[in-house]
Chain A
């Protein structure tokens, strides 16, 4: 697979420590890595696996609060761990470059994009200012940025996220480095935008035969980009193999389990023939104070015991819809019906019983649980508040709820949220919603902050609870895999409008609305040739933001795929 046999980067027995709670603890526990010239290696693993830390270490850089404690990092024959700071610095930007996760935050808001681009070439005296600027414009053109001669003279906040990410890749290329570290470059982007960035990165890395380390948690993405894949778990290597071999024939149990997630699929339920929907959103318009309309004539129904997934990219209005239903944002037009009866638009005017019927589970379990309150009180409070339980009865109820979410009551009763892991916190959030004995729960991106294995556990739990307690869910998500596994019905939103809705099996089979079609086709698949095939089939101009901008919510359905 390797294009050239020269070893560029050799890491041996690397150990990195992080400072936490008054002492140094190992976060990277002895990792080896060999990268050849022109090779692209994918580093994958869940959060806390140490991918980013290794990425920074490849540049001889330890972030604040970390230190390289052991091992050797040899870049093109030069030992970085013993080199002086100025020797290491001389490599950065010129021979090893870095592309960060959030381009919007990683460009300095005070300077023009092109001035930041030319900073490194000017500093290393590789080019004069005018040459460097011309070169930047060429790179912008290669990366298919619109108006390549002009875009660099804008300030970062004047350019969209996907374009900034490509501009940052161009900036990394400015000195034609031997190695680029890509640190989750597309994680913060919407799927349709992601495609353009992926294609741009792949092409430019190939063209200049640059070696790259591509860090991500998304297997399908890494399959498109990397020649070899290295899997990490908690600061240790699990296995490494060429991309094809890794996908077809993973060796280790952990890798297999990563590959196997999303096998879960809940059986699809259908609406009762005749019946009143539990929640019914009728022609709702909404806007935040003084702003433009965020929701425009949104209508859909949710039936008892069923899951409706609301899908869309950032800014499509899916979370705003949830705020309208819960009463946090009273709609400017239209109404919310509960079992046919109108709900007061403002939550402050709802009765205790109306409030209990409709509960919420949040995306960030960290901010959803009060860190200074014991688990027993977090779960116990709704039970005491709505049902007036006290003393032993209350304790029994809390135990029952902890059992329900598969946590051992005696172990968790007296603990505080910061002592729990992400998945456990999310379970506590679920228990708090259940404690109110609701009929309907809004799940706002509940799995997107979790690692895949943990997320799957949460999905299975929610599905089980739905069957046992006959709950209805409104599932807000941007992840189509989640939709596939848990939804009964799907609502697709774009720019505050519903573009398509219906039962799940209809939605995943053509004909689609063009926007649904674009969304579905943009989700990366495990096949290493997926991106190539897609671009060949559709052409580079028919994917990404450009394509999304051409779609009108009223377009007819199409059946391309």
Chain B
């Protein structure tokens, strides 16, 4: 019995009694069951186990406080309407927003935050952590901490690009299909059924095996990007220039310009193999976005106000822009978050398999793979980039969970 154990049980029992006295049923149950569990843990695992429990509880309390403070901070700086929404956020969502915020800062200011360059070799392989290298060195002697920071920029940017492209194509197609219906809707629905019945990771592997080799060059990626942007733009042109030849001509001319400049822009930011990766995830996930958008828009399309607008003779683009989109933003934003997680996990998984982002670019998935051997020596280094992936997806899911809960709660 040392001082730590005495303080530990005093706090727990005192807390339980207080909770019981003030009729806080759930708090009491939580504290007292923790006390009971601690008795067993204490006997089995000794003081060490209790210490771990105490550290976990401390960490939980710390993150709860950070989440609470961050939520209040957001409430304080947000405009009134938004602040009212934010006030309903549970602590988990606050935590999620805080993590996303941190990652965004790390990603945007990576070169200034990271003490070393992402490919800079500064010590021996697998050097242990010291004062200059907070997390030690990797298999080539590069600073782990700097690479984790740069990873936030590379991995997230790639996943974001993939998600945005999947979303543009999928959401546009979904909105158009729900609004026009008929054979157009049927064809798109069947196509997405087919693509979705190939498991995503398998389909990605198949496509990467084709486009991963010598096809990953500037010309191919430029052509593929232009085609992708062209198909997306064609949907917009269809909706806007309904039954008017002039509209089609102007639309197609604008489209050609926009898609080539989009492709050129992407080529400046990413290298060809990364562009292939982005395209692969965009192709795989756009059917999922399509399906969801079509379902969400489908709920809106059956409303009488859409019928009234159709009977008035409104164009498809007006229906989408003014009548359908404003009523489906909330679920679509939540879905964007979810899809981002899926895309992010897929890219991380592919990189982990050595088929995604290629070295020397710092990327969390490949960092896990490169350092995996350390795990058999009981070293946690490979868990750090893996944990960074997990933390971001968990954070986004926390926020999405709250948003979905809000939008479903407001329905009735």
Contact = CB atoms under 8 A, between A and B. Distances in A.
Q: Is there a direct interface between A and B, measured as CB atoms under 8 Å apart in the complex? A: yes
Given A347-B310, A385-B312, A385-B313, A368 B88 contact: no
Interface in A492-538: none
A268 B378 CA distance: 93
A233 B305 CA distance: 31
B124 interface: no
Given A370-B326, A372-B326, A372-B327, A364 B312 contact: no
A36 interface: no
Contacts of B310: 347
A360 B311 contact: yes
Interface in A331-368: 347, 350, 352, 355, 359-360, 362, 364, 367-368
A120 to B, nearest CB: 29
Given A367-B305, A385-B314, A432-B308, A22 B326 contact: no
A182 B74 CA distance: 50
B130 interface: no
A367 B311 contact: no
Contacts of B327: 370-372
B40 interface: no
Contact of B308 (A22, A350, A368): A368
Contacts of B190: none
Contact of A326 (B88, B311, B314): B311
Contacts of A371: 327
A543 to B, nearest CB: 35
A369 B305 contact: yes
Contacts of B312: 355, 381-382, 385-386, 436
Interface residues of A, number: 25
A362 B88 contact: no
Contacts of A362: 304, 308
A370 B311 contact: no
Contacts of A381: 312
Contacts of A22: 88
A370 B305 contact: yes
Interface in B145-186: none
Contacts of A372: 326-327
A56 interface: no
B405 interface: no
B307 interface: yes
Contacts of A367: 303-305
A359 B307 CA distance: 11
Interface in B301-331: 303-305, 307-308, 310-314, 322-323, 326-327
Nearest to B310: A347
Q: For the side of the interface on B, what is the size category?
A: 10 to 19
A507 to B, nearest CB: 30
Interface in B236-286: none
Interface of B is mostly: helix
A358 B308 CA distance: 11
Given A371-B327, A372-B327, A355 B313 contact: yes
A9 B88 CA distance: 40
Contacts of B303: 367-368, 370
B387 to A, nearest CB: 36
Given A360-B311, A385-B313, A368 B326 contact: no
A385 B310 CA distance: 12
A546 interface: no
Contact of B307 (A328, A382, A385): A328
B356 to A, nearest CB: 40
Interface in A306-348: 326-328, 347
Contacts of B308: 360, 362, 368, 432
Nearest to B87: A22
A355 B311 contact: yes
A381 B311 CA distance: 13
A364 B313 contact: no
B81 to A, nearest CB: 13
A326 B310 CA distance: 11
B304 A373 contact: no
Contacts of B313: 347, 350, 352, 355, 385
A385 to B, nearest CB: 6
B322 A328 contact: no
A355 B312 CA distance: 6
A373 B314 contact: no
A369 B323 CA distance: 10
A364 B305 CA distance: 10
B329 to A, nearest CB: 9
A2 B308 CA distance: 53
A238 to B, nearest CB: 28
Contacts of B314: 385
A386 B303 CA distance: 22
Interface in A32-62: none
Given A367-B303, A368-B305, A373 B326 contact: yes
A381 B321 CA distance: 14
Contacts of B326: 370, 372-373
A327 B313 CA distance: 12
A385 B307 CA distance: 16
A229 to B, nearest CB: 31
Given A372-B327, A373-B326, A347 B311 contact: yes
The 9 closest A-B pairs by CB, nearest first: A372-B326, A368-B304, A370-B305, A362-B304, A367-B304, A367-B303, A355-B313, A372-B327, A370-B323
22 contacts: A22-B88, A326-B311, A327-B311, A328-B307, A347-B310, A352-B313, A355-B312, A355-B313, A360-B307, A362-B304, A364-B304, A367-B303, A367-B305, A368-B303, A368-B308, A369-B305, A370-B303, A370-B323, A370-B327, A381-B312, A385-B313, A432-B308
Given A360-B307, A364-B304, A370-B327, 4 more contacts: A22-B88, A326-B311, A350-B313, A352-B313
